[in-house]
Amino acid sequence: MKLLFIYLLLILFTAEGVEAQNKKNYMQTISDTSAAMDFSYLRDTVFTVKPYFIEIDLAKQEGYLHSRNGEVKVFGISSGTNKLKDGVNTNEGLYVIQAKLPRWYSRQFDSTLMLNWLGFNFGIGFHALATSGYYNYLGKKKSSHGCVRISRPIAKLLYSIIDTGTPVLVHSGSSAVSVGFADSSINYKQYSYHEVIRLMKTMYRQLYSGRHFLNKAPVIIIDKFNVEHPGLPIGDSRKILKRQIIKSAYLFVSSVIPNYKYAEAVKNPAQLTSLNPGK
């Protein structure tokens, strides 16, 4: 009887030892996989309940009208440049449309008529001109005194479908934030302008330090009620670490490693060791 008891203990310890070794092997596989993956594609996301948002790439002099249904319309722009007298560069940032005017005469530049004005950054906004000479620069060269010039058909289209509060993301190719579409039927928590800035800066620090996956990001809805004219910071994607710490590893790895049994066996993510592949 004693020999049988000892035999059973040996079987149990052996099984536990094999299980522990299997877990160790899986965790090493996770670590190797994480270390091999390039997470520099990661972006933080803020959301809109509007049907559209506008993205401007200053480096390419292109605009993109993003629709909730997934469609993207590309159009040429001509942004601001400080190379002109009294001109300024169009600022990068995350803004929202603050004002709409079908016709607006510029007091600063000889009462120039601006058509279908959509303002987002103090006196900076989208508009068309009554003349057509500026068409030669659209999609090619910065030529305005600060605003984002667009063609008359595009200006008319945007004016007809864009509401105040619609996000405008202006960057030069290295933004660390993107805009997503939230369910307009859900009552999300509303953050103030200064709270949004604080939250976004915290999210960027997580990205830059490799800790993006360690904390659940809040759902930040932006609109005219919580984004003022100076806009929001867009971060710098060039600072994002390629190798990120993965905490709830089994949730992530189960989608990329077939038959990862701990994805279901371990119910508490805290039981798995956090992985820090290093920088």
The CATH number given to whatever domain includes residue 161 is 2.40.440.10
Q: What is the pLDDT of residues 236-271, one digit of tens each?
A: 999 999 999 886 554 444 444 444 333 333 333 333
Q: Is residue 250 part of a domain?
A: no
Longest dimension (CA), the chain: 105
Among positive and negative, which fits the CA dihedral 202, 236, 188, 231? positive
Whether 260 maps to a domain, the answer reads: no
| Residue 76 maps to a domain | yes
Q: How many CB atoms lie within 10 A of CB 268?
A: 7
Please report whether residue 152 resides in a domain: yes
Local confidence band at 216 (pLDDT 50, 70, 90 cut-offs): confident
The yes-or-no verdict on residue 84 having pLDDT over 50 is yes
**Domain count within the chain:** 1
Residue 161: inside a domain, yes or no? yes
- Residue 27 inside a domain? The answer is no
Could you tell me the pTM of the whole model? 0.77
Q: Is residue 57 part of a domain?
A: yes
Residue 112 contacts by C-beta under 8 Å, 6 or more apart in sequence? Answer: 105, 106, 129
Whether residue 257 is contained in a domain is answered as no
CA–CA gap between residue 141 and residue 59 (Å, rounded): 9
Range of the domain at 63: 44-237
